[in-house]
Amino acid sequence: MPAPDKLPKHHYIPVLYLNEWRRPDGRLTEFSRPTGQAVIPRRTSPKGTGYVRGLYRLDGSSEETSEAFERVFFHQVDNLAKDALDICLGRSRWNWTIQTRSAWSRFVLGLLFRNPERIAATRKYVEDMALENYEENEADYNAKKKLEDPSFLDYVLGRVQFNTMDFATSVIDNTGMGTHINQMRWSIRDVSDSGISLFTSDRPIIMTNGLNGPDAHLALPISPHKVFLACKNKDQEQKLLAARSSDFASECNKSVLRFAMKYAWNTDDTMINRANEHLGKDTDIGEEFWQAPINRALSNVEDHPAIEPAAER
């Protein structure tokens, strides 16, 4: 098994998404607070940021088994989303099929649930479940254990790894939530005329009233100048589309920055003052949204009043 610092990079912020913030030289600027104080900009490639080594990895008998979730599930989610992203950015006709619409909904849910903090919270939940009645279960396991079987502790650790990733992927691939997002009104807000470059971050989705209220909607920056919108009703959609571009862009940046966990990204260093003012300032508030038991994650997304709309704060 490779050493931890040599494990494969698992991008919880997909490279195909961050590619939209590349400058002509192929790089973008990462903003973070490595010492917890002033924001430090770092120029890097989309492949050089937004990842944790071995985040989705299993301890398997082969490299293929160990990387199964990353190579099979997350790689597929990102690849299928490429055509949908091209539609959103105007590189393809606005002609959604069931496949491209579902692929984009799955990609959006992935941005909510595939990050290190959600994976860690899921793992803790699964570990707590696994440790219930530990001694009784160990005795039962050992009574049936074959010579070639692992120790009970190794068996439990392996099941925790697998069940953590299995649960996370089932949430991202949830048919009910995917259908719910599919049925919302989708549109793109272009803020090119604002003169403001949009940020993205490791918490890029702005969500209001969960996704189940009458005025529920979400917003996701998809480039330095465009935002994907999904709204429950036409009035809310028109309200967001009609907002002045400079106000919309400024408030979108404010929300994306303030709820960031660790990183934000933009095309260059010129937005350093904005990043210094807002990066991570509301991280704790945003994380409270996810503190309920992990098996209520979906109902949280559906019902919890979370973040105010960017154009209305």
Give the Cα separation of 15 and 87 in Å (integer).
18
Closest CA to 218 of 93, 104, 295, 77: 104
Q: Spell out the per-residue pLDDT of the chain, length 313, in tens.
A: 566 568 999 999 999 999 999 999 999 999 999 998 999 999 999 999 999 999 999 887 678 888 989 988 999 999 999 999 999 999 999 999 999 999 999 999 999 999 999 999 888 888 888 888 888 888 998 999 998 888 988 888 888 889 999 988 998 998 888 999 999 999 999 999 999 999 999 999 998 767 778 888 999 999 999 999 999 999 999 999 999 999 999 999 999 999 999 999 999 899 999 999 999 999 887 676 665 555 544 555 554 433 333 333 2
Entry pTM: 0.87
Query: What are the CA-CA distances from residue 187 to residues 45, 96, 217, 219 (Å)?
Result: 29, 12, 11, 10
Give the Cα separation of 284 and 186 in Å (integer).
30
Cα angle, residue 115 at apex, residues 109 and 119 outer, rounded to 5°: 100
Closest CA to 11 of 55, 43, 45: 55
